[in-house]
Structure 1
């Protein structure tokens, strides 16, 4: 490659990165209900009624939240009829994370132009969220809802690519499948930056919880230094298992590798893997039946 070509390639990547930064700044800020809810969750003096009041101010949001809580994903034996009851059952942090997921998805859904790629990405992150939660249940993780949201949002950098450069995003996916290599490698070749780093930029701009920032930034780079190691390990393993599930159903061809450190840290074995895959497919299938009513 000549010096001129190298300089052009470098300038193209720099221009793309600037476009990503501009797109982040152009995206709407998180809605007021999210900011109010975060303040309430962070205040130890707050009650479930305080949080319920904020959510109930938006009837559409309240209805969506109740549909989700009453979905087969949670499987509560009795129907949850009030926002206050939902908060008591799931806890402040879980409700805050679900609100966060809803608000972020709403922002991006209004900016996505290519529905086919968006659906493929959505199916991947939804499955990853489910697998993360299933792993959490298997290892007795304290907050499995946090894992669900972390899995759901771990690839938010890809969504940013999709809304900023839809044609390049499609090209990256096609090259990845053709060359049988990870998408992150192609992203760095074309954009000069991977979706993990883009996710970190976006998460920082929106001031998302540090645990979610770590999931976005480190799920492909377990050699880095991060605070929430258990959560990052779960999301990495869940992402890999999701790819295995996608291969089983013919949606992917790139055979993934589970990081040995992450796998051993979680204390999982082959029998656990089989059980996690089976349970995840079952839960994911149930969620797909009602997702249009929830998200």
Structure 2
């Protein structure tokens, strides 16, 4: 059955909500301009859309970036984050705003799910903001979209009237292995599917590759290994559910240690210091 469902899933991607005109213009210009891209032209494209401008300024002044002074212009944002980052952020923000969110096929409360998604972004920026500010800022778009696959899968399962069947299998599995159930029913897991979506939307290759190796970060190329491990660690820590706990602290700590063992310069103490309170509590609990 998963082959038929996988084919239907891929077809459903063709009718996903289109990206706004501003995003299309920005992407088209940056792709065509290449290394000759002009900061002023990028600012003009963004500023022509008041909604995109307002949301970008709001995001730039959020805890995700931790700038010490208020950002008031698009030009400031471009100067601080770079054109590549801006393009990825605008696309990611637009994608999040264009999806109807109902994650009931996963047995999740939508508001709790969205809060968890925001906490993922907050954590990865809070953690890496001290260790590697540049990496922290570049990973914001990926972190924002880390659970997009679950949203797309949920909409698809509801549309195909397979949502109750999917939920029953998750329940039978005691919600312990989402990936196994996703692969059984849909032929792909939500993280791998996100890599496919990012490729379709022309995100930077380095971000796409980082997502594609989240399940096997040790196999990633050295140039993206740190980014991949950072996303993998965040994925483990903020799994949608695991034995009714929102955090999987021990698995995340083990992955940090693995990353360090293969030469990724993370600091274990910094990571543990930045953990949410619930995660710290779970470190002391018996498995």
Work out the CA distance in 2 between the residues paired with 1:214 and 1:81.
33
Q: Residue 271 of structure 1: CA displacement?
A: 1.9
Work out the CA distance in 2 between the residues paired with 1:113 and 1:249.
20
1:273-284 equivalence runs, <5 A? 273-278=271-276
Work out the CA distance in 2 between the residues paired with 1:232 and 1:114.
26
The equivalent residue for 1:268 is: 266
Q: Is the 8 A contact 2:96 2:145 kept in 1?
A: no
Q: Residue 161 of structure 1: CA displacement?
A: 0.7
Q: Is the 8 A contact 1:125 1:152 kept in 2?
A: yes
TM-score (norm: length of structure 2)? 0.77
1:13 aligns with 2:2: yes
1:130 aligns with 2:143: no
Q: Mind listing any 5+ residue stretches in structure 2 that lack a counterpart?
A: 280-287
1:70-219 equivalence runs, <5 A? 70-109=61-100, 112-114=101-103, 117-140=109-132, 142-166=134-158, 167=163, 170-171=167-168, 174-176=171-173, 178=174, 181-219=176-214
Q: Mind listing any 5+ residue stretches in structure 1 that lack a counterpart?
A: 1-11, 282-295
Work out the CA distance in 2 between the residues paired with 1:113 and 1:235.
24
- DSSP 3-state at the match of 1:78: coil
TM-score (norm: length of structure 1)? 0.75
- DSSP 3-state at the match of 1:79: coil
Work out the CA distance in 1 between the residues paired with 2:71 and 2:131.
27
- DSSP 3-state at the match of 1:165: helix
1:206-257 Cα distance to aligned partner (Å, 9 max, x none): 232222322332211235455622211110112223349x779943679635
1:139-187 Cα distance to aligned partner (Å, 9 max, x none): 32533221122222233322221110142554465445x25x2311221
CA RMSD of aligned residues (A): 3.3
Which of 15, 22, 32 is 1:26 aligned to? 15
Q: Is the 8 A contact 1:200 1:216 kept in 2?
A: yes
Q: Is the 8 A contact 1:127 1:280 kept in 2?
A: no
Counting matched residue pairs gives 265
The equivalent residue for 1:69 is: 60
- DSSP 3-state at the match of 1:266: coil
C-alpha distance 232-280 of structure 1, shift in aligned 2 (>3 A): farther
Work out the CA distance in 2 between the residues paired with 1:172 and 1:36.
43
Deviation larger for 201-210 or 259-268: 259-268
Q: Which of 1 and 2 has higher RCO (CA within 8 Å, sep 6+)?
A: 1
Work out the CA distance in 2 between the residues paired with 1:83 and 1:269.
34
Work out the CA distance in 2 between the residues paired with 1:172 and 1:212.
32
